[in-house]
Amino acid sequence: MVITPELRRLVAAARTVARSDREWSMMNAVPAASANPDVPGAPADYVDLLRVVNGGIFGSVVLFGAELVDRMQYSADSVDGAPVVLGRESWFCFGKVGEDPLFLDRRDGSVWGFPDRGITWWQSGVFERLAADLGEFLVDQVFGPGYPALAGVREDDQWQRLLAECRARSPRG
Domains, in order of start, for the chain: 5-169 (3.40.1580.10)
Ramachandran category for residue 76: left, alpha or beta (phi over 0 → left; psi -120 to 50 → alpha)? alpha
CA atoms within 13 A on the CB side of 98: 17
146 — pLDDT class (breaks 50, 70, 90): very high
pTM of the model: 0.93
State pLDDT tens for residues 97-108.
Answer: 999 999 999 999
CB 84 within 8 A of CB 72: no
Q: Which secondary-structure segment (H or E) carries 159? A: helix 158-169
N residues, the chain: 173
State pLDDT tens for residues 14-49.
Answer: 999 999 989 899 999 999 999 889 899 999 999 999
